[in-house]
Chains A and B, each alone.
Chain A
Amino acid sequence: MTAVLEVRGLGYELPGRGKREGGRVLVDDVSFSVAAGETLVLLGRSGSGKTTTLKLINRLLEPSGGEIVLDGRPAAGVAPYRLRRGIGYVIQDVGLLPHMTVEQNVGLVPRLEGWAPARISARVRELLALVGLAPDQFAGRRPHELSGGQRQRVGVARALAVDPPLLLLDEPFGALDPITRAELQREFKGLEGRLGKAIVFVTHDVREGFLLGTRIGLMQEGRLVFLGTAEEFRRSTHPEVRAFLEAAA
Chain B
Amino acid sequence: MTLSFVGFAWRNVWRRRLRTALTLCGIGMGIGAFVALVGFSRSFEHAWLEMYENAGTDLAVVQKTFLNTSVDQSVGPTLLKIPQIARAAPMVVNMMAVTPEINTLVYGWKADTFEFSALKILSGRIFHDGQQEVMLGELLAGSLNKKVGDTLDLQGSSFRVVGIFRSGSALEAGAIIMPLDELQQLSSLTSKVTAFHVQLKPAPAGVSPQEWEQQAENAVASELPGLRAVPAAQRAANNQLVALAHAAAWGTSLIALLVAALGIANTMAMSVFERTKEIGVLRAIGWSRRRVMGLILVEAAALGAAGGVAGTALGWLALHILGALPQTASIASTTLSTSTLLDGLVMAMLVGVAAGAVPAWRGAQLSPVEALRHE
B partners with A = no
B binding-site residues for A, Cβ under 8 Å: none
A binding-site residues for B, Cβ under 8 Å: none
